[in-house]
């Protein structure tokens, strides 16, 4: 499937790194700052994947089906607190998923161009990539704020395609959530879904990705 492709675009959270522990830690520090009760880390994990604003709104609501905050000032304080705590804990208890470095090296050796498209705020991305020694793999890395719209809108993927001068039908999106699969389809790109990440309880098979992998290194089976 990848043999005729030139560019592979990767998601970050739930795809390359297991960042839920650091996000949960920072969210609970935020809630403490607001005199609210902490939430179980496993619950917060289910809130991850749609960017920081929605993560915070879900945490304030205590459920995935969040309510828009009526108190805008309270939401601003929550967001400021979360960004402050998370900026100091970007990699706290965060780990690379198995076989990520080896697989990225192998793909680079096969002359694929690699890029990153994440809904995580772009200001956090460089330090995380550097910490895990991932920064040299990607020709281009975009995050929340790099484009007007986040995934599942295709804008981020299409910008990467355009900036690297590689046609969308020569690109593949690799991710763990519906955002990644839907964005790839809207961008006319192929998709690889990973089952181990933050799919928020959605059966990825229902989204009909081109390939489903249970382990990151299985990507190499399609090269």
Q: How far apart are the first and last CA of the chain?
A: 7
221 assigned to active site: no
Backbone phi and psi for residue 17, each to the nearest 5 degrees, phi listed first: -130, 145
Among residues 4, 11, 71, 109, which one is catalytic? 11
Nearest by Cα to 222 from 208, 206, 209: 209
The single-letter DSSP state of residue 36 is: -
| 63-94 CB burial, b ≥16 within 10 A, e <16 | eeebeebeeeeebeebbebbbebbeebbeeeb
Distance between CA 127 and CA 94 in Å, rounded?
Answer: 13
- Just list the catalytic residues: 11
């Amino acid at each position: 499937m990848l043999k005729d492709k030139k560019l592979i675009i990767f998601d970050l959270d739930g795809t390359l790194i297991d960042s839920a522990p650091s996000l949960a830690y920072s969210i609970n520090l935020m809630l403490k700052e607001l005199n609210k009760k902490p939430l179980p880390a496993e619950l917060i994990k289910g809130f991850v994947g749609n960017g920081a604003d929605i993560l915070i709104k879900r945490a304030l609501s205590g459920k995935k089906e969040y309510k828009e905050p009526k108190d805008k000032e309270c939401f601003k304080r929550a967001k400021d607190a979360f960004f402050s705590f998370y900026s100091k804990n970007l990699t706290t208890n965060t780990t690379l998923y198995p076989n990520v470095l080896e697989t990225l090296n192998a793909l680079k050796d096969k002359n694929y161009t690699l890029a990153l498209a994440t809904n995580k705020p772009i200001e956090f991305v460089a330090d995380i990539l550097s910490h895990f020694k991932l920064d040299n793999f990607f020709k281009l890395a975009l995050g929340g704020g790099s484009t007007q719209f986040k995934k599942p809108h295709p804008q981020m993927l299409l910008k990467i395609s355009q900036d690297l001068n590689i046609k969308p039908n020569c690109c593949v999106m690799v991710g763990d959530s519906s955002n990644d699969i839907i964005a790839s389809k809207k961008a006319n790109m192929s998709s690889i879904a990973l089952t181990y990440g933050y799919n928020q309880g959605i059966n990825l098979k229902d989204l009909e990705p081109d390939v489903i992998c249970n382990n990151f290194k299985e990507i190499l089976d399609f090269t």
